[in-house]
Amino acid sequence: MSITILGIESSCDDTSASVIRDCVMLSNVIAGQAVHEAYGGVVPELASRAHQQNIIPVVAEALKRADIDKSEVSAVAFTRGPGLMGSLLVGTSFAKGLSASLEIPMIAVNHLQAHVLAHFIKQTPEDTRHPSFPFLCLLVSGGNSQIIKVNTYDDMEVIGQTIDDAAGEAFDKCAKVMGLGYPGGPVVNKLANEGNPKAFTFSKPRMAGYDYSFSGLKTSFLYTLRDRLKEDADFIEKNKQDLCASLQATVVDILMDKLLKASKDLKIKEIAVAGGVSANTGLREAFHNYAERYGWAIHIPPFAFTTDNAAMVAISGYYKYVKQEFCTMDTVPFSRVVI
Which residues contact ligand KG4 by CB under 6 A? 12, 141-143, 168, 171-172, 183-186, 189, 275-277, 279-280, 307-308
Taking the CA atoms of the chain, what radius of gyration do you get in angstroms? 20
Give least dist CB 205 to ligand KG4, A: 19
Give least dist CB 10 to ligand KG4, A: 12
- Please enumerate in sequence order all residues whose Cβ is within 8 A of that of 155, keeping only pairs 6 or more positions apart, or say none: none
Closest CA to 26 of 65, 60, 83: 65
Give least dist CB 69 to ligand KG4, A: 31
d(CA 1, CA 8) in angstroms, rounded, equals 23
Half-sphere exposure at residue 86, Cβ-oriented, CA atoms within 13 angstroms: 12
The smaller minimum CB distance to ligand KG4, of residues 217 and 277, is found at 277
d(CA 319, CA 118) in angstroms, rounded, equals 12
Give least dist CB 162 to ligand KG4, A: 12
Give least dist CB 295 to ligand KG4, A: 26
Residues 245 and 200 sit within 8 Å (Cβ to Cβ): no
The smaller minimum CB distance to ligand KG4, of residues 63 and 245, is found at 245
The smaller minimum CB distance to ligand KG4, of residues 75 and 180, is found at 180
d(CA 87, CA 84) in angstroms, rounded, equals 5
**DSSP state for residue 193 in the 8-state scheme:** T
The smaller minimum CB distance to ligand KG4, of residues 92 and 278, is found at 278
d(CA 324, CA 185) in angstroms, rounded, equals 39
Residue nearest to ligand KG4 as judged by C-beta position: 276
d(CA 47, CA 14) in angstroms, rounded, equals 8
The smaller minimum CB distance to ligand KG4, of residues 47 and 73, is found at 47
Alpha-carbon dihedral sign for residues 37, 39, 42, 45: negative
The smaller minimum CB distance to ligand KG4, of residues 160 and 185, is found at 185
Give least dist CB 89 to ligand KG4, A: 17
